[in-house]
Amino acid sequence: MNALVGQSGGPTSVINSSLAGVVDACVKSPKVKQVFGMRFGIEGVLGNDLLDLAALDAATIKGLRSTPGSALGSSRLKLKEEHFGPILKQLKKHDIRYFFMIGGNDTMDTIHRVVEYAQEHGWEMTGVGVPKTVDNDLHGTDHTPGFASAARYVALSVQQAGVLARDMQRVDQFVIFQTVGRSAGWLPAASACVRHSNGDAPHVLLLPERAFDREAFLNLVADKQKKHGFVSIVCGEGITNADGSPVSASATRDRFNNIEFGAMGGTSAAMMLHRMLSNEFGWRGEFQVTESLQMCAADRAVKLDYDEAYGCGREAVRLALKGEGGVMVTIQRTSKPKEPYSATFGTAPLREVANHERPMPDRYIAKNGMDVTSAFLDYARPLIGPLPEYTALPKPRRVTSAASQ
């Protein structure tokens, strides 16, 4: 029987490692005759744009394990009823019995709907999802492949920008870093892992799980700037006001009805916060919106992330060959806080993953809503790995010259 694999949604630094895991496991199984890759997600099935992945040489598959981006190409096509007939026709044409997709919530929904349609029309097929998202908001898993590397990118960026802001505080009084992530604050929260001593950036975290409170935000910013001479702020792109409107003021939506915070011609949350602080305090400052760089920075990727992404791909094939379909592979942490990190694989039903998001739990968010707790740091630090600690000169003491004595 033949297998089909695709990638969908936003890329990550390690999504191709998952692809390599699927291909390796399929090629080595006597139950799989051929493994095809769909170009540009489900659009590749509709357009009969398939790649024979089993024909790739070993060096190419190995190279995928450390290549960022989405090697097969991605898609955000939202399936409509008229798509399912042509998709099933292609699945039958290529004798596809194992169906894998690597992605997030919307991707899991795609797998579930395609397999359900096929089975309703007499075509037996096993579908298994491989988790992927830098947002870390997939239901049923401790964390997602892609998150650790993106979190490390954010943490290092905020740390290094914080050092610069500290040294330039007589010129710029604040710096704002915006992360991706529509409705979950896992990435902005990860920036707190770089703090080594009092006063280190970041000072204020704005998480989508908490409504933006302008007055409380301005008061906290003023307090932090007074204490440290500058203030470092990290915000999630999807932060909203109490009425649910985005702080970014973006109104552009994608095909899945998700707000596109980086849409051309729109504003960003960081830009709006910059205007707010400049108008309120008269300060100079800067905002940093790196968009997709967080999703493809292989130079900052985490080895654990690569390994788990590859393992998830192999596990998906193992499950499918056993006939365990309708699920997404999950990562289940087995170690306790303060213990060396360890984890195993599990599963979550595709239907549940597709219809639920996983925001940060309350126990990870500080009471003021603009910081994290020690419990979150215990969760995130083993994934991100060791972070550098930069040297800071001591504050100067008033020097008295010999002549004045």
Say if 141 falls within a structural domain: no
Residues 52, 123, single domain; the answer is yes
Question: Does one domain contain both 55 and 103?
Answer: yes
Instruction: Give the Cα separation of 282 and 225 in Å (integer).
Output: 13
393 lies in some domain: no
Distance of alpha carbon 234 from alpha carbon 66, whole angstroms: 29
Q: State residue 29's pLDDT score.
A: 97
Q: What is the pLDDT of residue 263?
A: 45
Cα(56)–Cα(63) distance, integer angstroms: 11
Instruction: Confirm whether 25 is domain-assigned.
Output: yes
Lookup: tokens for 49: 């744009």
Print burial letters for 317-334: b (CB count within 10 Å at least 16), e (below 16).
bebbbeeebbbbbbbebe
Same domain assignment for residues 11 and 101: yes
Are 337 and 369 within one domain?
no
User: Is the CA virtual torsion 365, 367, 371, 373 positive or negative?
Assistant: negative
Whether 405 maps to a domain, the answer reads: no
Res 30: pLDDT: 96
Residue 346 in 3-state DSSP? strand
- Closest of 227, 250, 229 to residue 238, by C-alpha: 250
How far is 95 from 1, CA to CA, in rounded Å? 7
pLDDT of residue 266: 52
Q: Which residue has the tokens 């359900």?
A: 116
Give the contacts of 48 (CB within 8 A, at least 6 positions apart).
90, 93
125-154 burial: b if 16+ Cβ within 10 Å, else e: bbbbbbbbbbbbbbbbbbbbbbbbbbbbbb
Kindly state whether residues 263 and 325 are assigned to the same domain.
no
For residues 277 and 174, the answer to whether their CB atoms sit within 8 Å is yes
In this prediction, residue 256 carries a pLDDT of 53
Q: Please check whether residue 64 lies inside any domain of the structure.
A: yes
Q: Domain check: are 46 and 116 in the same one?
A: yes
Task: Say if residue 26 is in the same domain as residue 171.
Answer: no
The CATH code of the domain that includes 258 is 3.40.50.460
Q: Does the residue 390 lie in any domain?
A: no
Query: Residue 337 maps to which CATH number?
Result: 3.40.50.450
Number of folded domains in the chain? 2
Shared-domain flag, residues 13 and 155: no
Rounded Cα gap, residues 370 and 355, in angstroms: 28
**263 and 151 share a domain?**
yes
| pLDDT at residue 105, as a whole number | 92
Residue 289 covered by a domain = yes
Q: What is the pTM of this model?
A: 0.93
Residues belonging to the active site: 135
Contact 236, 187 (CB under 8 A): yes
Label residues 157-177 b or e (16+ Cβ within 10 Å = b).
bbbebbbebbeebeeebbbbb
Asked if 42 and 77 sit in the same domain, the reply is: yes
Tokens representing residue 207 in the block:
């998480």
Residues 217 and 195 in one domain: yes
Same domain flag for 216 and 363: yes
Angle subtended at Cα 136 by Cα 176 and Cα 198, rounded to the nearest 5 degrees: 45
Show pLDDT as tens, one digit a residue, over the chain (405 residues): 999 999 998 899 999 999 999 999 999 999 999 999 999 999 999 999 999 999 999 999 999 999 999 999 998 888 999 999 999 999 999 999 999 999 999 999 999 999 999 999 999 999 999 999 999 999 999 999 999 999 999 999 999 999 999 999 999 999 999 999 889 999 999 999 999 999 999 999 999 999 999 999 999 999 999 999 999 999 999 999 999 999 997 545 555 555 555 444 457 999 999 999 999 999 999 999 998 899 999 999 999 999 999 999 999 999 999 999 999 999 999 999 999 999 999 999 999 999 899 999 999 999 999 999 999 999 999 999 999 999 989 887 766 666 555
Q: Tell me, yes or no, whether 309 lies in a domain.
A: yes
End-to-end CA distance of the chain: 92
Which residues form the domain of 62? 2-133+300-355
Predicted local distance difference test score (pLDDT) of residue 251: 46
